[in-house]
């Protein structure tokens, strides 16, 4: 997914503000969110298509695994470039890992399998309203995360709030996935 994202980054133009001062504009962070989430989504879609997964919980699990892999390599890059701040960067990435790429891609994976259902995977499924809502939520969470907003002088408060929103969405998808399994179990008991 990291390689896919690097290819997608070729289509993003960053603002002069970012290039000169290293400060992201909203269009920068939205572009980053779209590129990274789309890069991870393409890999999730590959695994869903290859194994023909049809349960939402499978999509959540595959998404979380892809997100964890992405986060691992991204974190390694941040630590490599941290210089004298290596420990600070490593600790920040460790503390905030619970609310980032893992849950964002879990949401995307669950939403993808929800729209796919028992049908074979098709890229048309990615344009379905139900999927686009979840994907939009993930891109927004990612964009706000990357913007570096602070509340009461702390970015950690914003990270915690975004993490709670992300986990709330994951929890909702898990409940839908459990209901899906319960429904199939009841149908098989009737047969």
Better pLDDT: 46 or 189: 46
Q: How confident is the model at residue 24 (pLDDT cuts 50, 70, 90)?
A: confident
Tell me the C-alpha to C-alpha distance, in Å, between residue 137 and each of 82, 105, 110, 167, 171: 30, 11, 13, 12, 14
The Cα 107–Cα 31 span in angstroms is 19
On average, the pLDDT of the chain sits at 92
State the average pLDDT over residues 157-182: 96
pLDDT of residue 11: 87
Least confident of 16-20, 86-90, 137-141: 16-20
pLDDT of residue 157: 95
Q: Are 104 and 67 in contact (CB under 8 A)?
A: yes
pLDDT of residue 190: 67
Buried b / exposed e over 43-69, threshold 16 CB at 10 Å, is bbbebbeeeebbbbbbbbbbbbbbbeb
pTM, entire model: 0.92
Instruction: Please give the sequence-ordered ranges of beta strands (E in DSSP) within 57-161, or none if there are none.
Output: none
- Read off the pLDDT of residues 47-94 as tens digits, 9 standing for 90 and up: 999 998 999 999 999 999 999 999 999 999 999 999 999 999 999 999
CB count within 10 Å of CB 25 equals 14
Share of the chain above pLDDT 70, in %: 95
């Amino acid at each position: 997914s990291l390689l896919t994202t690097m290819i997608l980054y070729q289509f993003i133009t960053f603002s002069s503000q970012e290039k000169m001062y290293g400060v992201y504009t909203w269009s920068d962070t939205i572009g980053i969110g779209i590129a990274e989430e789309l890069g991870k989504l393409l890999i999730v879609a590959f695994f869903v298509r290859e194994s023909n997964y049809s349960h939402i919980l499978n999509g959540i699990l595959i998404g979380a695994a892809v997100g964890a892999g992405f986060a691992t390599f991204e974190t390694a890059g941040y630590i490599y470039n941290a210089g004298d701040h290596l420990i600070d960067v490593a600790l920040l990435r460790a503390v905030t890992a619970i609310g980032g790429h893992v849950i964002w891609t879990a949401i995307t994976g669950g939403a993808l399998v929800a729209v796919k259902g028992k049908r074979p995977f098709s890229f048309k499924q990615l344009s379905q309203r139900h999927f686009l809502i979840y994907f939009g939520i993930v891109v927004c969470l990612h964009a706000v995360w990357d913007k570096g907003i602070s509340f009461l002088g702390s970015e950690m408060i914003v990270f915690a709030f975004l993490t709670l929103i992300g986990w709330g969405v994951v929890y909702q998808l898990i409940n839908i996935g459990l209901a899906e399994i319960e429904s199939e179990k009841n149908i098989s008991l009737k047969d």
